[in-house]
Amino acid sequence: MEIKKETQVHSSGVPTQVQLEAINAQARAKMTAEQVYVFSLRLCDDQVDRDYERFDTAALPTLARMFIGKTGIVDHRWSSDSQVARIFAAEVVREEGVSYIKAWAYIRRGGNADEIIADIEAGIKKEVSVGCSMGFSKCSVCGGEYGICGHQKGESYDGQVCCAILQEPMDAYEFSFVAVPAQRSAGVIKGMGGKQMCLKELAENFGAQAEYRTLYKQAQLGIAYEKQLRSDVVRLCLSLELGVEEPVLRSVMDKAGAEELVKLKTALEARIREYMPVVTQLGLGNSKQETVESGFLI
């Protein structure tokens, strides 16, 4: 199933009294219900998009509050001429296991705005992407900071496809009507605060692809080594019969770092040598020389 991080725009029309009060909280001049057109939209959700990114579910409530009062534009053109709407309410909605930000926006009727309204009603202007700033991007495979952990979005690791989980909302800029949401070619500016780039993108920009590939291979070896360390420690714990089940041991070891695992493995191996020393079947020090009857000698 193709998953899109895009707005589902629902036309509405005349605002309710409660909505009108929220709109007037944004407007400088008092607006009437006849002067504005309101519509709801799905800004963003917690599902993996075509860039192999997704918003952290826990970050959505904070991000929703940041979008209140922000402008709606076209094609992410940051100019006053492209402003067509403004958000006056937003909340997090959960449906069928998916959490998303549902927002309400308004457009002032009249002039060119009536064409925008007509396009919304006709279902032509439907897809929307968001512009925001996130403070941290977490790797879905290892839980570390994406861009320095060595994993790549869209690639599979032990059957798990890597994606970047966007956390710690810093600011919300705008939402924009676009033709194709959640793709760089469509001008999507959703991403990290300060337009930070991952290590692979930096290597491409500065012509350091060879160095990046070397670092990537070394990182993969390190990941494999750490994985083997965890398995070794779990095996040693089971050998000592500590009374702890294997799933519990693996869960504990998954939280330990490489240095901790090395120390733990060394201590466990020493304890096993103490409790279960290696004993040879044939002793060399207490050998007894056999006596042979001379009568049998030729």
pLDDT confidence bin for 8, thresholds 50/70/90: very low
| Residue 291 vs residue 49, higher pLDDT | 49
DSSP string, the chain: ---------EEEES--HHHHHHHHHH-SSPPPGGGEEEEEEEEEESS--TTSEEE-GGGHHHHHHHHTT-EEEETT--SGGG--EEEEEEEEEEETTEEEEEEEEEEE-STTHHHHHHHHHTTSS--EEEEEEEEEEEETTTSSBTTTSS--TT-EETTEE--EEEEEEEEEEEEEE-SS-S-GGGT---EEGGG---HHHHHHHTT-HHHHHHHHHHHHHHHHHHHHHHHHHHHHHHHTT-S--HHHHHHHHTTS-HHHHHHHHHHHHHHHHHHS----SS-STT--PPP--GGG--
pLDDT in tens, 24-60: 998 888 889 899 999 888 888 898 888 899 999 999 9
Give the residue with greater pLDDT, 282 vs 250.
250
pLDDT, tens digit, for every residue of 176-193? 887 666 533 222 233 344
**Is the model more confident about 202 or about 156?**
156
pTM of full prediction above 0.75: no
User: Regarding predicted confidence, which is higher, 100 or 184?
Assistant: 100
In this prediction, residue 237 carries a pLDDT of: 86
